[in-house]
Structure 1
């Protein structure tokens, strides 16, 4: 089976502002992030991230003007992909992974687009991919990492529920498993036993699945320190609702532990 030939990918539009310039790319799923994504991209440009990997924005259908062509180009974006189909983060990531793999990158880094993460740490992920790691998880909870203004409910959920369940399923300790700041090798994503291009991955299932499948299959994995900073006097930037959203995350963790995505 050819993983890409048989890939289930949402319908999307491609706005390619530059040709491929690197062996690695940074995939950022967004929808109506407004100034948050622009501030994040400003930090990336200041840290010269756009010169070390191609930045690919995976838009879920923003209507706030933040993805206008001139804005994207001036903020160092290589390509904008716009999903025109059903699904949330999982569908956006499938779209981004598919485009990146078809384009021939050796590795893919992902990060949220809400300006909470230390995008300037992208070169550390590239280095780990070059060292032969297949799954690299960013963590604010290991030595060198920084967790700033983390809401207590989030801290408890990650440390006491999400991370222990992912670690148990992967049979390896991970500490910051809801964090989308991570990296994947092409070999891992193209493995037929992984096959991330399935319609079952619509919301947050793909993050949970890819967190555990690498170790289950014997791939080389690690965590590296990153920073995650929540705004001090603003509403927490998130797409997960307190009740329904968190219930769905628990359900995904249970299904993942039972091997339903394998």
Structure 2
């Protein structure tokens, strides 16, 4: 299944909502916001803050109040229950407001807003889900610890083999979805988070007959703050991916 309507978003991002979850990102948030609107002036930004104790939510409110073009929106959540839940809340907010394309982007600067046009161009070219990939020709890693790189590449290799898919960077978090994908894939049943959340949504996208395209991006290690990745998220990913792979192969046998 591939989107049939071309030019879903305008050249400057009109019709697209960028969802940025935050937890203790008060220093990074103004920087990534400025870079985003310098790159694509017509996109809208939804900041989903999980009650950051460092005041990130207040910074987000100030950015929204100062934006005369009304492009910045803030969703305050009362619980910190994972990246996946924050994105799901952001997706629901965007779908309720009829955005044609919804984008995932990190607040820490690891996803370059200057490269967002690559994802949106691939959407306009007919893709249903576009992944900003570190592991296709032209993709790159900057200042990432070798341990994290090996973990990431290992997780992607494991997911490709277990699920039988051909996505090089299925754990990547820089993505653009057509709204039809998010309306179809059963977001109300998604319980996973972190690495696993990204794999889960890509797997559901493929299982529902949509197309995935990867475009190269440069992933840069955050300069401010600390990563939120932990061992529990990694263990969750390992178990769930194995289960999905078995379920997928059994479904093929039944057909």
TM-score tier after normalising by the smaller chain length: 0.7 to 0.9
| TM-score (norm: length of structure 2) | 0.81
Cα shift at 1:74: 4.1
- The change in CA–CA distance for 1:253 and 1:73 in structure 2 (over 3 A counts) is farther
Q: How does 1:216-255 map to 2 (within 5 A)?
A: 216-231=207-222, 237-241=226-230, 243-255=231-243
2:24 alignment counterpart:
32
Distance (Å, rounded) in 1 between the aligned partners of 2:246 and 2:81: 23
Distance (Å, rounded) in 2 between the aligned partners of 1:26 and 1:245: 24
- The change in CA–CA distance for 1:28 and 1:37 in structure 2 (over 3 A counts) is same
More helix by percentage: 2
Contact 2:194/2:229 (<8 A) preserved? no
Contact 1:31/1:62 (<8 A) preserved? yes
Q: Aligned-residue CA RMSD in angstroms?
A: 2.6
Contact 2:18/2:44 (<8 A) preserved? yes
Cα shift at 1:202: 5.2
Deviations 1:68-87 (A, max 9, x none): 22234447852101112462
Which SS does the other structure have where 2:110 is aligned? Answer: coil
1:52 alignment counterpart:
42
2:131 alignment counterpart:
137
Contact 1:196/1:206 (<8 A) preserved? no
| Residues paired across the two proteins, number | 233
- The change in CA–CA distance for 1:35 and 1:85 in structure 2 (over 3 A counts) is closer
1:63 alignment counterpart:
53
| TM-score (norm: length of structure 1) | 0.79
Cα shift at 1:251: 2.7
Cα shift at 1:200: 2.4
Distance (Å, rounded) in 1 between the aligned partners of 2:242 and 2:164: 15
5+ residue gaps, structure 1, are: 1-20
Match of 2:179 among 173, 186, 189: 186
2:197 alignment counterpart:
206
Cα shift at 1:203: 5.3
Which SS does the other structure have where 2:151 is aligned? Answer: helix
Distance (Å, rounded) in 2 between the aligned partners of 1:99 and 1:91: 12
